[in-house]
Amino acid sequence: MDTFDKILEFYRELLQSQLKVVYRYQRQSPELKKKLKRTSNLDIVEDILAASNQPLHISKIIEIAKNDYNLTLERDSIVSAIIKKIRSGLRFERVAPNTFTLKK
């Protein structure tokens, strides 16, 4: 290993150590903990429907999730989850085929 490689290795290790400290303090930050809280796909669908104030077709819900939340929802999976909530009487209502709104 020549001198230049040793210097590069030194700086790489130095920067990695600094990043570890930054990550440690970020984990302790209460503001960051709020941001890192996981949101379920159904919570995102609920937010989308609440913001729209009208029933939306599943295709539109998926499109909004992709554009606004940078999240790709699987059509069959999310429809199945919404149907389960409807059958249990929670959160959502079906107003037309594959068109949903929030339960009033």
Instruction: Note whether 23 and 45 are same-domain residues.
Output: no
pLDDT at 20 over 90: no
Determine the structural domain holding residue 24 and report its residue range: 3-36
Q: What is the per-residue pLDDT across 29-66, written as a single tens digit (0 to 9) for each?
A: 555 444 445 678 898 899 899 888 899 999 999 999 88
pLDDT at 74 over 60: yes
Beta strands 99-102 and 92-96 are antiparallel
What percentage of the chain reaches a pLDDT higher than 70? Answer: 88
Instruction: Note whether 45 and 13 are same-domain residues.
Output: no
Instruction: Note whether 98 and 58 are same-domain residues.
Output: yes
Backbone angles phi, psi at 96, to 5 degrees: -160, 170
pLDDT at 21 over 90: no
Q: What is the per-residue pLDDT across 25-35, written as a single tens digit (0 to 9) for each?
A: 776 655 544 44
Instruction: Note whether 49 and 90 are same-domain residues.
Output: yes
Domain count, the chain: 2
Q: Given this model, what pLDDT does residue 37 score?
A: 55
